[in-house]
């Protein structure tokens, strides 16, 4: 007979709701704890079993910490802007607001049915104008800020020092160029047949259907995240994040140290600046390569090469960034006819253009050192360019030697690197470049500025207007939020702009300060925008005057534990950290970083070990699981499957297993009529039972602290296996056990707690304490190894005297048998564990 979870679970969910059991209020008498789940995008498909994994883990942790006296903030909300709702709207003409509301209702029902202890008073939705008002407000703060490299922080644009003698137009341009949000011509994925811009993730889908997607330049809003590259990289060190994620962020930011140097163009006064991480190899630079887009290409190209160069550049322009990089085919390039001089060797070297050099990284130009760079080597081989060895240690007839080594062939009248190991050679060369004013030390990042415009309807509108003279103006804060207008069609305008561009009455507006006609920006913000700061809004979700009250922010921040999928390892977490730092610089926040500890839950695979997907027919619906086995079983199984971070397959048998366990828990305490079992009495525990109880408290406590929920559950199973059929079960032991189980199976344990005679919810009962002395055992099983093999075991009292123990070991029958005719060379005693004999 199964325990009556269909009655118990709704009963306690209602109780928690009605008593607002999990409402969080600032309370300076308690230590605070902010535990955050990555909020979901409420898709039409509803919750899948992957969502509750992280949610259950944080819920257990929160419930445990409340019992330990922490004031816990544990909120939930909806990341509801995004492409799927908009695409659905295009097909059905149903407003995305409506479908979003429906999807949120489904998600909320499903999440609530799991008994998660969220403070629902703090629920937020990124598509709510009351929320996105503040997303727009933060955008304005970014827009109205510049990065002061001297102070190494963002400052209000009003504090930007202005050069004297600028015209009004120049002033405008100067300021625009310094804002942290700026307009730039950037390539988009343009599909002529659809007349729309595609998101990167859509490109494959449409090209597979035979549509063409090409690169097209468009003015777009960019956020100057590169200004923060150094701090975003440096502050990673203070985060308690999985090393893998830190590494991924580090790679994404891509810091590299090197030098820049000027190479004079022959027959011109100008020079070309290159960036290299290997200044020590400059004597081996035998040619130069510019990115096809490099502005000096025209000037360098001699007339007889003009035609090929132009053709090559046109070709490169056609190719999308994907094609240029992902194809990984043979390198191509063409000679410009121009020459530059290697400043180290003073010899002329040819200038080529090739699309393996990226315009947007470094200076868009490289000195090619084929002897010590694989790419340059490949290129030089193909086009018969000279290869010179300047670092000894490799065989240049076979491959480039890219490792560190010792310099050779590296001297001129002023400097010699010969004999120097690579690190010193680098330093020596940089010093020489700086002395001769040829170049200087330089640090570069791979990180690019953040393309922040989307040509979409279902996103936050920018609080910006274009005046008739073409200038951009920020709307005053008092005009926020800029609401999304309703429209008949959600289809993009066909010109590359979003559907917003077709809503004339919305686009046409006036400058609120001058009354002059103006047009609204029709781009919208990317989905990342709302998720960049939601953790701050939870702190003060109903505040209409500020995005977040400062005292409250000070009390709750930073987020102590953040749990979510690893798919957000780079972008979401990097963008959120960036916004956080901007707000910190501008004085709105008290912490440098947002998320102190981060944990990624692993993916749950289908029962067949494949990724869950409709096409495989292996998707597990949480509704079905809860209906069949109850929410507590679902929660428990999700935690019992294995370590939180691991990828692991679903198993219906496994759910049945933990469900059986919960039934056993019920039967351990409740009789067939639903009353407390007669075997539960006010009696003291035997020494053995008390030991098991204290061992269980200890193991479960430490396991929850370390988020090792699977082994905590194992320990509870051991406890129940021992106690289930005891004739007498001490009341206190049963209570302690129910407390231990309560973070995992809150509904069942609330019910049992009530049956054990309590009127109050179990949620804030003090967590059981263990007594280390009571976990100790009196006898240990001593293992005897002879030449590394276990030959005997016998019980001995704990902490036995070593000599006595040795005597016992040598007297043991099994040991004697193996010692027959041999000599004991050495005895190793590991206290309370084993005795190891070496014999000959």
Partner RNA sequence: GCCAGAGUGGCGGAAUUGGCAGACGCGUACGGCUUAGGACCGUAUGUCCGAGAGGACUUGUGGGUUCGACUCCCACCUCUGGCACCA
Are the C-beta atoms of residues 787 and 838 closer than 8 Å to each other?
yes
Regarding 575 and contact with RNA (CB under 7 A), the answer is no
- Cα angle at 532 between 185 and 97, to 5 degrees? 90
Query: DSSP string covering 320-385, please?
Result: -HHHHHHT-----EEEEEEEEE-TTT--EEEEEEETTS-TTSTTSEEEE-GGG-HHHHHHHHHHT-
Judged by CB under 7 A, the residue of 713, 733, 752, 762 near RNA is 713
Question: What is the C-alpha separation between 135 and 41, in angstroms, rounded?
Answer: 17
Judged by CB under 7 A, the residue of 495, 514, 651, 779 near RNA is 651
CB of 613 to RNA, least distance (A): 12
Q: What is the DSSP letter of 260?
A: E
For residue 365, how far is the Cα from the chain centroid? 33
Regarding 218 and contact with RNA (CB under 7 A), the answer is no
Are the C-beta atoms of residues 304 and 338 closer than 8 Å to each other?
no
Exposure letters 447-467 (e unless 16+ CB within 10 A, then b): bebbebbbbbbbbbbbbbbbe
Regarding 793 and contact with RNA (CB under 7 A), the answer is yes
Regarding 68 and contact with RNA (CB under 7 A), the answer is no
Stretch that binds RNA, among 107-115, 524-532, 565-573, 615-623 (CB under 7 A): 565-573
Judged by CB under 7 A, the residue of 38, 72, 113, 291 near RNA is 291
Judged by CB under 7 A, the residue of 203, 718, 800, 819 near RNA is 718
CB of 254 to RNA, least distance (A): 5
Question: What is the C-alpha separation between 24 and 208, in angstroms, rounded?
Answer: 50
Query: DSSP string covering 52-104, please?
Result: HHHHHHHHHHHHHHHHTT-EEE---EE---SHHHHHHHHHH---HHHHHHHHH
Question: What is the C-alpha separation between 226 and 327, in angstroms, rounded?
Answer: 27
Residues from 371 through 390 that contact RNA (CB under 7 A): 373, 375
Q: Which of 109, 51, 105, 72 is nearest to 538 (CA)?
A: 72
Regarding 719 and contact with RNA (CB under 7 A), the answer is no
CB of 609 to RNA, least distance (A): 8
CB of 706 to RNA, least distance (A): 9
Regarding 585 and contact with RNA (CB under 7 A), the answer is no
Q: How many residues bind RNA (CB under 7 A)?
A: 85
Question: What is the C-alpha separation between 409 and 648, in angstroms, rounded?
Answer: 56
Are the C-beta atoms of residues 769 and 775 closer than 8 Å to each other?
no
Exposure letters 121-134 (e unless 16+ CB within 10 A, then b): ebbbbbbbeebbbb
Q: Which of 523, 515, 517 is nearest to 464 (CA)?
A: 523
CB of 752 to RNA, least distance (A): 17
CB of 826 to RNA, least distance (A): 6
Regarding 283 and contact with RNA (CB under 7 A), the answer is no
Judged by CB under 7 A, the residue of 87, 112, 446, 473 near RNA is 446
Question: What is the C-alpha separation between 252 and 229, in angstroms, rounded?
Answer: 10
Regarding 724 and contact with RNA (CB under 7 A), the answer is yes
Residues from 419 through 438 that contact RNA (CB under 7 A): none
Judged by CB under 7 A, the residue of 725, 760, 769, 779 near RNA is 725
Regarding 441 and contact with RNA (CB under 7 A), the answer is no
Instruction: Return the residue matching tokens 């407000």.
Output: 137
CB of 321 to RNA, least distance (A): 8
Judged by CB under 7 A, the residue of 44, 244, 267, 419 near RNA is 244
Stretch that binds RNA, among 74-82, 103-111, 209-217, 351-359 (CB under 7 A): 351-359
Regarding 632 and contact with RNA (CB under 7 A), the answer is no
Question: What is the C-alpha separation between 317 and 306, in angstroms, rounded?
Answer: 16
For RNA, the closer CB: 485 or 643: 643
Judged by CB under 7 A, the residue of 248, 396, 451, 676 near RNA is 248
CB of 279 to RNA, least distance (A): 8
Question: What is the C-alpha separation between 522 and 496, in angstroms, rounded?
Answer: 11
Question: What is the C-alpha separation between 183 and 219, in angstroms, rounded?
Answer: 6
Q: 89-95 contacts: CB < 8 A, separation 24 or more?
A: 89/457, 89/458, 89/490, 90/489, 90/490, 90/491, 93/488, 93/489, 93/490, 95/486
Judged by CB under 7 A, the residue of 161, 515, 757, 788 near RNA is 788
Regarding 129 and contact with RNA (CB under 7 A), the answer is no
Could you count the other beta carbons within 10 Å of the beta carbon of residue 110?
18
Regarding 838 and contact with RNA (CB under 7 A), the answer is yes
Tell me the β-bridge partners of 517.
510
Regarding 820 and contact with RNA (CB under 7 A), the answer is no
Judged by CB under 7 A, the residue of 172, 335, 361, 555 near RNA is 361
Question: What is the C-alpha separation between 424 and 422, in angstroms, rounded?
Answer: 6
Are the C-beta atoms of residues 222 and 355 closer than 8 Å to each other?
no
Are the C-beta atoms of residues 658 and 633 closer than 8 Å to each other?
yes
For RNA, the closer CB: 409 or 785: 785
Instruction: Return the residue matching tokens 């998707």.
Output: 619
CB of 273 to RNA, least distance (A): 11
Query: DSSP string covering 213-225, please?
Result: -EEEEEEEEEE-G
Question: What is the C-alpha separation between 310 and 330, in angstroms, rounded?
Answer: 20
Regarding 444 and contact with RNA (CB under 7 A), the answer is yes
Q: Are strands 834-839 and 824-830 parallel, antiparallel or unpaired?
A: antiparallel
- Cα angle at 782 between 785 and 776, to 5 degrees? 145
For RNA, the closer CB: 92 or 706: 706
Regarding 570 and contact with RNA (CB under 7 A), the answer is yes
Judged by CB under 7 A, the residue of 300, 566, 704, 738 near RNA is 566
For RNA, the closer CB: 102 or 321: 321
For RNA, the closer CB: 545 or 789: 789
Q: Which of 389, 392, 418 is nearest to 404 (CA)?
A: 392
CB of 24 to RNA, least distance (A): 31
Residues from 652 through 711 that contact RNA (CB under 7 A): 653-654, 656-658, 660-661, 663-664, 708, 710-711
Regarding 137 and contact with RNA (CB under 7 A), the answer is no
Regarding 320 and contact with RNA (CB under 7 A), the answer is no
CA dihedral 455, 457, 463, 467 (to 10 degrees): 60
CB of 449 to RNA, least distance (A): 13
Judged by CB under 7 A, the residue of 37, 79, 355, 553 near RNA is 355
Regarding 251 and contact with RNA (CB under 7 A), the answer is yes
Regarding 318 and contact with RNA (CB under 7 A), the answer is no
Stretch that binds RNA, among 297-305, 519-527, 689-697, 783-791 (CB under 7 A): 783-791
Are the C-beta atoms of residues 704 and 713 closer than 8 Å to each other?
no
- Strand locations in 506-593, DSSP E? 508-510, 517-520, 559-565
Regarding 327 and contact with RNA (CB under 7 A), the answer is yes
CB of 52 to RNA, least distance (A): 16
CB of 122 to RNA, least distance (A): 31
Regarding 565 and contact with RNA (CB under 7 A), the answer is no
Regarding 646 and contact with RNA (CB under 7 A), the answer is yes
CB of 40 to RNA, least distance (A): 18
For RNA, the closer CB: 412 or 814: 814
Tokens of 582: 């901007």
Judged by CB under 7 A, the residue of 252, 383, 466, 588 near RNA is 252
For RNA, the closer CB: 123 or 434: 434
Residues from 728 through 767 that contact RNA (CB under 7 A): none
CB of 402 to RNA, least distance (A): 10
Stretch that binds RNA, among 116-124, 250-258, 391-399, 532-540 (CB under 7 A): 250-258
CB of 35 to RNA, least distance (A): 22
């Amino acid at each position: 007979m199964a325990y009556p979870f269909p009655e118990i679970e709704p009963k306690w969910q209602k109780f928690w709701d009605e008593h607002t059991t999990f409402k969080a209020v600032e309370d300076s008498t308690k230590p605070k704890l902010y535990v955050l789940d990555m909020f979901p995008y409420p898709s039409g498909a509803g919750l899948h079993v992957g969502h509750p994994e992280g949610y259950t883990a944080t819920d257990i942790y929160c419930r445990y910490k409340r019992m330990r006296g922490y004031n816990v903030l544990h909120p939930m909300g909806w990341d509801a802007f995004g492409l799927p709702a908009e695409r659905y709207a295009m097909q059905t003409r149903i407003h995305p607001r409506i479908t979003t509301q429906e999807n949120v209702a489904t998600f909320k029902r499903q999440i609530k049915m799991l008994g998660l202890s969220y403070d629902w008073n703090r629920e937020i939705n990124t598509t709510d104008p009351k929320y996105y008002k503040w997303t727009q407000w933060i955008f304005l703060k970014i827009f109205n800020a510049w990065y002061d490299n001297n102070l190494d922080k963002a400052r209000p644009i009003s504090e930007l020092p202005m050069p004297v003698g600028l015209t009004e137009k120049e002033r405008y341009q100067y300021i625009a160029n310094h804002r942290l949000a700026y307009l730039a011509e950037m390539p988009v994925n343009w599909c002529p047949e659809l007349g729309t811009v595609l998101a990167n993730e859509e490109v494959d889908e449409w090209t597979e259907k035979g549509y063409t997607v090409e690169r097209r330049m468009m003015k777009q809003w960019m956020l100057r995240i590169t200004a923060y590259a150094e701090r975003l990289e440096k502050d990673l060190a203070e985060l308690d994040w999985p090393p893998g994620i830190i590494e991924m962020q580090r790679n994404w930011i891509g810091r590299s140290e090197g030098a820049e140097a000027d190479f004079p163009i022959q027959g011109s006064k100008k020079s070309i600046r290159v960036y290299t991480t290997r200044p020590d190899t400059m004597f081996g630079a035998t040619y130069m390569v510019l990115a096809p887009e490099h502005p000096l290409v025209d000037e360098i190209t001699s007339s007889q090469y003009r035609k090929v160069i132009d053709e090559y550049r046109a070709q490169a322009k056609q190719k999308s960034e994907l094609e240029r990089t992902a194809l990984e085919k043979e390198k191509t390039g063409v000679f410009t006819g121009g020459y530059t001089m290697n400043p180290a060797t003073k010899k002329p070297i040819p200038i080529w253009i090739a699309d393996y050099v990226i315009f947007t990284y470094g200076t868009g130009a490289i000195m090619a050192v084929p002897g010590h760079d694989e790419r340059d080597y490949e290129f030089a081989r193909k086009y018969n360019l000279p290869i010179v060895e300047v670092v000894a240690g490799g065989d240049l007839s076979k491959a480039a030697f890219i490792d560190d080594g010792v310099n050779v062939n590296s001297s001129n009248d002023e400097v010699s690197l010969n004999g120097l190991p690579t690190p010193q050679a680098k330093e020596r060369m940089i010093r020489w470049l700086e002395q001769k004013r040829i170049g200087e030390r330089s640090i570069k990042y791979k990180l690019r500025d953040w393309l922040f415009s989307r040509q979409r309807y279902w996103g936050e509108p920018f609080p910006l207007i274009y005046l008739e003279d073409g200038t951009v103006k920020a709307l005053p804060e008092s005009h926020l939020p800029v609401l999304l207008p309703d429209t008949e069609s959600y289809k993009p305008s066909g010109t590359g702009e979003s559907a917003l561009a077709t809503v004339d009455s919305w686009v046409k507006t006036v400058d609120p300060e001058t009354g002059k006609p103006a047009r609204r920006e029709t781009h919208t913000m990317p989905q990342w925008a709302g998720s960049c700061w939601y953790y701050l809004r939870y702190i003060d979700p109903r505040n209409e005057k500020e995005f977040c009250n400062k005292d409250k922010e000070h009390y709750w921040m930073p987020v102590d534990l953040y749990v979510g999928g690893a798919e957000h390892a780079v972008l979401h977490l990097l963008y959120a950290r960036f916004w956080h730092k901007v707000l910190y610089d501008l004085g709105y926040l008290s912490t440098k970083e947002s998320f102190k500890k981060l944990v990624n839950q692993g993916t749950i695979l289908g029962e067949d070990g494949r990724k869950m997907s409709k096409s495989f027919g292996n998707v597990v619906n949480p509704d079905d699981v809860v209906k069949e086995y109850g929410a507590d079983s679902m929660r428990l199984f999700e935690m019992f499957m294995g370590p939180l971070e691991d990828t692991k397959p679903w198993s219906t048998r496994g759910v049945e297993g933990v469900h059986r366990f919960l039934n056993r828990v019920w039967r351990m305490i409740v009789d067939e009529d639903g009353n407390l079992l007669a075997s539960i009495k006010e009696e003291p525990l035997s020494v053995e039972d008390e030991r098991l109880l204290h061992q269980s408290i200890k193991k479960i406590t430490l396991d929850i602290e370390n988020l090792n929920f699977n082994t905590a559950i194992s320990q509870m199973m051991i406890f129940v296996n021992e106690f289930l059929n005891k004739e007498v079960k001490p009341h206190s032991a049963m209570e302690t056990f129910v407390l231990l189980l309560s973070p995992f199976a809150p509904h069942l344990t609330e019910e049992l707690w009530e049956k054990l005679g309590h009127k109050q919810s179990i949620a804030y009962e003090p967590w059981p304490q263990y007594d280390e002395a009571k976990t100790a055992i009196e006898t240990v099983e001593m293992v005897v190894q002879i030449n590394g093999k276990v030959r005997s075991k016998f019980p001995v009292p704990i902490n036995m005297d070593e000599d006595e123990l040795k005597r016992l070991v040598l007297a043991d029958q099994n040991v004697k048998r193996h010692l027959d005719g041999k000599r004991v060379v050495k005895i190793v005693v590991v206290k309370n564990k084993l005795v190891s004999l070496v014999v000959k």
